[in-house]
Amino acid sequence: MTQDGAGGSRLMQVLHVIGSPKGEASASTRMAEAFLDQYCLENPHDSVTTLDVWSADLPEYDGELAAAKLAPLIGEPLTPTQIAAWDRVLAIVETFASHSKIVISTPMWNFALPYRLKHYIDLLVQPGVTFGLDDAFEHIGLLDDRPVQLILTRSSAFTDESPDDFQLSYLTHILGFIGLHDVKSLVFEGTTLPDDQREEFLTRACEQCRLAAAGF
Ligand SMILES: Cc1cc2nc3c(=O)[nH]c(=O)nc-3n(C[C@H](O)[C@H](O)[C@H](O)COP(=O)(O)O)c2cc1C
């Protein structure tokens, strides 16, 4: 959602989704904060909201919610419990969709994502809400496209488009699936370093993030 500012410029609401549970010790969160600090300097009237998936109240994806997701596809009515669970899902999607730009910062965990970020994504990806079928029964994303910046960290180094990298490839795929194709990524590898090298590495990475903020 955007609104016109006094000078006719569009004010942006940025959502920062935090995927690391490490708080101030997190490399990916620190890099994203450098990116957003610079973004706010350059766009002082835009707003940034933070969604930490580790402290957010995310409904369990239990049997009721799984049934609620699929019931409309087979013409089944929802039970009152499923309606309540579904309402919570819709509120989560609405918060996400109401932001005009998205930043997702996350470490790689076991070649993919921390489970709490996957949980959040599982809540966002819903038939008839964020994806649907076109006349040819092909999947289409239902969200309006908007800029997404990924800020990703991992200990290991991967070659470009390595089949072992399920972090960048999954995020790019699932965001495209719900309609978000304007996705840029900053990927930082080799993040597990002794203390004396870590600070210098993080300082350089944060500088790269600040530079990238100009194009967001
Ligand atoms: C549970 C867990 C699993 C991890 N799995 C991988 C992995 O598969 N590949 C990799 O390169 N690094 C892996 N790492 C290392 C993190 O991706 C790396 O330390 C990252 O920079 C941490 O970012 P953060 O400080 O923002 O949490 C793992 C770390 C943890 C805690």
- What pLDDT, on a 0 to 100 scale, did the predictor assign at position 4? 46
80 Cα to the center of ligand 1, angstroms = 40
- What pLDDT, on a 0 to 100 scale, did the predictor assign at position 8? 52
Bridge partners (DSSP) of residue 141 are 131
If you search the block for the tokens 């800020």, which residue do you land on?
151
The closest of 146, 201, 22 to 209, measured between CA atoms, is: 201
The closest of 43, 193, 159 to 103, measured between CA atoms, is: 43
Residues 113 and 70: their CA atoms lie apart, in Å, by 24
Q: Tell me, using a 6 A CB cutoff, whether residue 156 lines ligand 1.
A: yes
Q: Take atom 1 of ligand 1 and give the residue whose Cα is closest.
A: 109
How far from 59 is each of 53, 54, 127, 135, CA to CA, in Å? 11, 12, 18, 33
Burial class (CB within 10 angstroms; exposed 0-12, middle 13-18, buried 19+) of 194:
exposed
How far from 145 is each of 81, 101, 174, CA to CA, in Å? 32, 9, 13
Q: Tell me, using a 6 A CB cutoff, whether residue 116 lines ligand 1.
A: no
User: Which of ligand 1's atoms lies nearest the C-alpha of 110?
Assistant: 8
Q: Which mutation among 109, 189, 197 tests ligand 1's pocket best, with the greatest number of atoms within 8 A of CB? A: 109
User: Which of ligand 1's atoms lies nearest the C-alpha of 156?
Assistant: 11
Q: Does domain 3-213 have CATH number 3.40.50.200?
A: no
Q: Is 138 helix (H, G, I), strand (E, B) or coil?
A: coil
**Number of Cα atoms under 13 Å in the Cβ half of residue 27:** 24
Q: Take atom 24 of ligand 1 and give the residue whose Cα is closest.
A: 26
92 Cα to the center of ligand 1, angstroms = 26
How far from 121 is each of 44, 174, 195, CA to CA, in Å? 29, 8, 33
Per-residue pLDDT of the chain (216 residues; tens, 9 = 90+): 334 444 456 899 999 999 999 999 999 999 999 999 999 999 999 999 999 999 999 999 999 999 998 888 888 899 999 999 999 999 999 999 999 999 999 999 999 999 999 999 999 999 999 999 999 999 999 999 999 999 999 999 998 889 999 999 999 999 999 999 999 999 999 999 999 899 999 999 999 999 999 989
Asked whether the beta carbons of 121 and 19 are under 8 A apart, the reply is: no
Indicate the helix (H) or strand (E) that contains 116: helix 115-124
State the pTM of this model.
0.94
- What pLDDT, on a 0 to 100 scale, did the predictor assign at position 5? 43
